[in-house]
Chain A
Amino acid sequence: MAAIKVAKTGNEAMAEAMRQINPDVVAAYPITPATEVVQIFSQFVADGAVDTEFIAVESEHSAMSATMGAAAAGSRAMTVTSSQGLALMYEMLYIAAALRLPIVLPEVNRALSAPINIHCDHSDTMGARDAGWIQIFSENSQEAYDNILQAMKISEHPDILLPSMVTTDGFIISHCMETMFFLDDATVKNYVGPYKPHASLLNLAEPHSLGALDLQDYYFEHRMQLAEAMRRAKDRIVEVGLDFGRRFGRSYGLFETYRMEDAEVAMILLGSTAGTTKMVVDVLRREGRKVGLIKLRVFRPFPFAELAREFGRVKAVAVMDRSDGLTSFGGPLFDHVRSTLYDLERRPKTVNYIYGLGGRDITLEDLRSIFVRLQDIAAGGPIDPLITYQGVRA
């Protein structure tokens, strides 16, 4: 196994993972900021660097539909998208999951319209959070690459058979060049292994119908099977993450804790903001402040029980949402974390920050001030406001 040191953007890293996976079929439609992945992959096809049948479809709805058709026909199939593209796929996302098609979708997080905006927030991915897809967030290009490879092993496992989306943050990761390591082609090929489909429309010896009408007598059981698969996925994600570490030196779990051992206050968030926050944590730690970070990697399945264990000693938590659920009660991560904490004997106080919508920067100073406020709350200070829109102009 050779680790190849490179300087790559998130999009380049995701495209490279796709080249090394060498899927049978890719059907994709360009959309900013994921366009580059489609372009780079198209060039791989044009240069004969992959064996993939590439379908340059006429919409994301067709991208997902064609990917599903290929997957149902026993092929390893992938597509790539972002934002409005994911929104256009919305109908098909639910069906891909329920038909148990193990598609892996690199997704670049971008704000949903309107107003139209091409920059990062998580509203696109959060919009698909109940579709039955495994959702894995990445902090940087290295994680994006590693997560795509792992997603293959998670999704395709016979006990799981659920699709996965692996996300990066638009522009912040997708277009930012960083030092990272690729695995060599043979290692990736060996790691993902040959595709063994659970069933195939091209198995002529055993014809079957996929996508039948389920009425009152079967629908519920099939949805239950889907829910159980998502529950099982949690263990599989942990197993794959540990195995990845044993093989390649980078381990992954459902979330990453950063200086949480004796933390009195903590932040929980998703994606690229973790990098900035770690730096702020380090600075505050040097000042003697007991602050920590939980970087949630897997949003679906949501690790409720596992997270609860981390918060037992914490006095105050800021839940950082890079999307707004417009519920009038904070963002989606806030809902989940509050629910996670409910059964704890000693519950930390929680506040919600909605930040970074449409690519608005969150600064070191922003993050620092949030930690300082958490310390005040931990010391009995007021919680009002419960929900803060961080960095928005009055």
Chain B
Amino acid sequence: MANIKKLAENPELLSGGHRLCSGCGAGIVARQTLLAAGDRPVVVANATGCLEVSTTIFPYTAWRVNWFHSAFENAAASASGIEAAVRAQRKSGRLKEDVKVIAFGGDGGTYDIGFQSLSGAMERGHNLLYICYNNEAYMNTGIQRSSATPRGAHTTTAPTGKICPGKIQSRKDLTACLVAHDIPYAAQAVVGEWNDFVTKVQKALATSGPTFINILQPCMLGWGFPSAQTVALGQLAVETCIWPIYEVEKGVYRLTKRPKQKKPVAEWLKTQDRFKHLFGPENAGLLEAIQKDVDLRWEKLLALCGEKAAI
């Protein structure tokens, strides 16, 4: 577990003044990641997306570490090249420090367009940490569906309409895909459980080889909630088990937080405008199906983590 007093002594490597929305979770993810890194030297590769455009409007930058961006789908490939450069320059003696590469991508850049590049980097075993700040849609371009968008959510490319209740399909379980790459460390985290996330980042940075964290990041604009609720919403995602937080270390699953009492998923859905249509009488069946799906996945995860099944 991270110690907040010690953490507070670490330098702020993501400065204020960037242009992310108030209440944006992506800034929290980046800031906490760099706080977790502390004095371990890191270099960041960023996919195109909210975090990138809002933190580096030329001639300004919010990053006090070396930072690189080239395109949308290639953060993992860029990070691979930077990591190879680290190895080459350490081998030749030009670089003394053990620099760790951290890649950030949104769910668009990670689940979808960057999936191949991510898979390639993970399979090749580069020593890097990839963090997906997952806000469950393409928020930078105006809330379009991604394969991380949950079933029933309204987005601008899977909108609710006279005959359609938002996104029809369930989301892809990307964390499971990454676990299937047999990487030494993969985890799910959430904005709002800061200590859990910081601890996971520190664990990943201390691990040699490819590591991955999928952090659910509430987006007030895309999800439709008051900007003061970001942290509370993240916590509620864990309490309703729609986004369980866990880690997989060398293939061994561990639930890092088990809610004392599992709340109905409707409690989470009703906090956000993107789900409001689900509460109409015509969507009662869908609501029920979503709950069933959450229950099923939760039971499966509990079994993987060696936890006692829910009643």
Contact = CB atoms under 8 A, between A and B. Distances in A.
Interface in A52-88: 52-53, 55-59, 61-62, 65-75, 77
A66 B84 contact: yes
Interface string B89-101: 1011001010100
Contact of A210 (B69, B84, B87, B91): B69
The size bracket of the interface on B is 35 or more
Contacts of B85: 24-25, 53, 69-70, 73-75, 77, 201-202
Contact of A215 (B45, B58, B64, B89): B58
Given A51-B92, A201-B82, A204-B97, A209 B117 contact: no
A202 B68 contact: no
Contact of A212 (B58, B65, B124): B58
Contacts, number: 173
B58 A24 contact: no
A66 B43 contact: no
A68 B64 contact: no
B3 to A, nearest CB: 25
Most chain A CB atoms below 10 A, which of B46, B64, B66, B67: B66
Most chain B CB atoms below 10 A, which of A58, A214, A215: A58
Contact of A65 (B41, B57, B71): B71
Given A202-B85, A202-B95, A62 B69 contact: no
Given A57-B120, A69-B80, A74 B67 contact: no
Nearest to A68: B70
Contacts of B68: 69, 72-73, 201, 209-211
Nearest to B69: A211
A190 interface: no
Nearest to B45: A69
B66 A207 contact: yes
Contact of A72 (B82, B97, B123): B82
Interface stretch (A91-99, A267-275, A297-305, A373-381): A91-99
A246 to B, nearest CB: 30
B80 to A, nearest CB: 5
A140 B57 CA distance: 46
B70 A65 contact: yes
Given A57-B120, A61-B74, A202-B99, A207 B64 contact: yes
27 contacts: A25-B81, A53-B85, A55-B80, A55-B124, A59-B117, A62-B74, A65-B70, A65-B71, A65-B74, A65-B117, A68-B78, A69-B85, A73-B85, A75-B88, A77-B85, A92-B70, A92-B71, A92-B74, A95-B71, A96-B70, A202-B43, A203-B66, A210-B69, A211-B67, A211-B70, A215-B57, A218-B59
Pairs of residues from A and B, 8 with the lowest C-beta to C-beta distance, nearest first: A69-B81, A58-B120, A66-B81, A211-B69, A73-B85, A65-B77, A62-B77, A65-B74
Interface of B: 41, 43, 45-46, 52-53, 56-59, 61, 63-71, 73-74, 76-82, 84-89, 91-92, 95, 97, 99, 116-117, 119-121, 123-124
